[in-house]
Amino acid sequence: MPTTEGLYWEDHGRANGPPIMLSSGLGGSGSYWQPNLAAFGKHHRVITYDHRGTGRSDRKVPGDLTVEAMAADVVTLLDGLGIERVTFVGHALGGHIGLALALHAPDRIERLVVINGWAKLDPHTARCFDTRLALLRDSGPRAYLHAQPLFLYPPQWISDHHEALQAEEEVHLAHFPGAEMIQRRVAAARRFNIAGRLDEVRVPTLLVASDDDMLVPPSASEKLAAGIPGAQLARMAVGAHACNVTRADHFNMWLCDWLDAETGG
């Protein structure tokens, strides 16, 4: 099991291709990106990892857990893998990690993709977090995990994938990082606020937003696009918060086309 300084990671795709690192959202597991690996791996070296405190990475996270600390973990991982610069693709909290990297270690990022992220917590998202944490606190991990698809996927997609989601719930329950860690990760996401620093993000940036996202309003991506110099905004009418999963083929095509355009391929 490959680990670097307590961080579990996996290599996919072309070993000698330009590197892409994928960073998941609140759940923190690299397995979230399974629907995207084959498409990205045709021409790129694709690296997934489990955030510290989740999955197969070290579960002990001393000190204050912040998005900036999560970004420092990415630098540690890049150093361990001998990678100087990477295209960084982040979903929600993973996107915030990418934005923090763009501000604090811009020399390590070639390009940045942020999926359904934000510069400052939206009141609607805060209300969703309150609801999810109340479920966790009052009803336990199973209730928290059982409700999770409601915030991630469109209703019909949930119906069509009911059995797979039931099986996935059992896997998540078996590897649940604990209520305290979830609360710390939500707190880090809540505190993240770079609304006054967006003009400092100078790496080529693609923002992806879903109009039907139950968790993060698309206006959050609009604000990122308005503030980051030269940023591009791609919107899906349907796909919900986890649009790279629910509309994987569409998302994969978009991202691969953008990567090719940025490199002149």
* Domains within the chain, CATH numbers bracketed: 3-122+192-263 (3.40.50.1820)
Residue 42 token pair: 């045709």
Q: pLDDT tens for residues 170-205? A: 999 999 999 999 999 999 999 999 999 999 999 999
Q: pLDDT tens for residues 206-248? A: 999 999 999 999 999 999 999 999 999 999 999 999 999 999 9
**Among 151, 158, 156, residue whose Cα is nearest residue 214:** 151
Q: pLDDT tens for residues 51-60? A: 999 999 999 9
Please tell me the number of Cα atoms within 13 Å of 162 on its side-chain side.
4
pTM for the model: 0.97
187 in Cβ contact with 62 (< 8 Å): no
User: Which residues fall within 8 angstroms of residue 115, CB to CB, at 6 or more apart?
Assistant: 89, 90, 91, 92, 94, 95, 208, 243, 244
